[in-house]
Amino acid sequence: MAKLKWGMIGGGQGSQIGPAHRLGALADGLFEMTAGALDVDPERGRAFAMSLGVAEDRAYANWQEMLEGERKRDDRVDLVTVATPNNTHFEITKAFLEAGFHVLCEKPMTMTVEEGEEIVRTARASGKVCAVNYCYSAYPMVRQMKAMVAAGEIGRVRSIVANFSHGHHAAGDDAENPRVRWRYDPAQAGISGQMADCGIHALHLATFITGDEIEKLSADFASTVEGRQLEDDAMVNFRMSGGTVGRLWSSSIALGRQHGLDIQIFGETGGFRWASEQPNQVYYHKLGGRVEIMEKGEAGLGEDAQRLSRVAIAHPEGFPLAVANIYVDLAARIAGKDEGNLPTAEDGLRSMASVYAAVASARDGSAWVDARPPMFR
Ligand code: NAD
């Protein structure tokens, strides 16, 4: 089967997420890197793209040039990944969808709920795949928890406790660091800092594993570093469509925590505990039994967990391969196969609605706010 042609916008040299996309997209021989506008600095971006093997005429100075260049080619790229700072996602994603390209957009998909709705409409009208990189949902053992919840193995889910709290923005001098600065600048990050940067990953996991929506929430936000315009610590209570009670703590000043994404799911007859820093294991407690550790690669796991596990039991299989799993499911969707677990524009929109609800709630003394996107109410 011919490889799909892949282009990337953002994710330049030294960026945080760029390497994970390159490792992920190229891991399974499904895509080849064909074009790129990788950096806000045109020359640096072109040089870096060529160093990765992109032909000189497809190493573009910026995304507009890439759009013009690729749309007129017979051998145009099939998929474009958008891995730039948040404030550029909407216009780039919309423009490429409208021009007939499949798009994988980084989270948060947009800066506003209205833009999120516009992307959902554009994707639906274009007939192209628009995925959002909620890559934690593609870890084999997260798929295992989802399959077991769907099979009723822990009964109705009563409660979820999720954290995405790290300490990497605890230093006040990070205003000097360009990779951190934009995350707290409303012009580049939007109305939310930590909640939009990390909290939405944990909320997506809650909806992904249960299959339920977040209906309403109540939030308390704080900017604990002096001078920071957006929140760096958020506590969110939420309620889901299946009646599940949810708690989320998301912080970027939590010194002592590294990556800090973990989730506990408590059902009527069983519970799970999973942490992204030990992604190969799920702690599983069946009512009346002992706590078991389920291990990626062991016999008896669900089909999806087995399909997305590449190396033998007990060997680490980390973040880039979770991103690779997003690309595997994307390639399947592009080929017209029903890959139901791929996070899409609808998920990106739901996240924006949660972020806006959380900001509104925090500004209104933690009042409960409807967290559903208007177009899905
Ligand atoms: P970063 O600041 O480390 O890197 C951004 C890169 O984009 C740089 O190479 C920069 O030169 C380039 N860039 C900026 N503007 C550009 C433009 N207009 N055209 C082309 N290139 C441009 O940021 P990052 O941490 O890599 O984050 C990028 C995006 O990825 C953000 O939206 C972020 O939220 C998301 N992200 C997602 C995950 C995840 O787990 N899914 C993890 C980290 C970051």
Q: Residue 75 pLDDT > 80, yes or no?
A: yes
Q: Looking at the structure, do residues 225 and 122 belong to the same domain, yes or no?
A: no
Residue 95 domain boundaries: 4-135
Q: Domain boundary residue among 135, 152, 177? A: 135
How crowded is the C-beta side of 359, counted as CA atoms within 13 Å? 21
Tell me the average pLDDT across 287-299: 97
Q: Residue 347 pLDDT > 80, yes or no?
A: yes
* Residue with CA at minimum distance from ligand 1 atom 24: 16
133 lines ligand 1 (CB under 6 A): yes
179 lines ligand 1 (CB under 6 A): yes
pLDDT the model gives residue 110: 97
Q: How many domains does the chain have?
A: 2
Higher pLDDT, 123 or 174: 123
Q: Looking at the structure, do residues 58 and 165 belong to the same domain, yes or no?
A: no
Q: Residue 217 pLDDT > 80, yes or no?
A: yes
Q: Residue 173 pLDDT > 80, yes or no?
A: no
Q: Looking at the structure, do residues 123 and 153 belong to the same domain, yes or no?
A: no
* Residue with CA at minimum distance from ligand 1 atom 9: 12
Percent of the chain at pLDDT > 90 equals 93
Tell me the average pLDDT across 8-30: 97
Tell me the average pLDDT across 150-174: 94
Is residue 275 within 8 A of residue 290, CB to CB? The reply is no
Is residue 198 within 8 A of residue 261, CB to CB? The reply is yes
Q: Residue 175 pLDDT > 80, yes or no?
A: no
Q: Looking at the structure, do residues 145 and 126 belong to the same domain, yes or no?
A: no
CA of 295 to the centre of ligand 1 (A): 32
- Return the CA Rg of the chain: 20
Place of tokens 């899905």: 376
H helix intervals, the chain? 18-26, 42-51, 63-71, 89-98, 113-126, 140-150, 178-181, 186-189, 194, 200-210, 303-307, 319-334, 345-363
Place of tokens 């947009």: 110
Percent of the chain at pLDDT > 70 equals 100
* Residue with CA at minimum distance from ligand 1 atom 15: 40
Entry field: residues in the chain: 377
Tell me the pLDDT of the chain averaged across its residues: 96
DSSP 310: -
DSSP 275-299: ETTSTTEEEEEETTS-EEEEETT-T
107 lines ligand 1 (CB under 6 A): yes
- Own/partner pairs, 332-338, CB within 8 angstroms, 24+ separation: 333/129, 333/131, 334/4, 334/78, 334/79, 334/102, 334/129
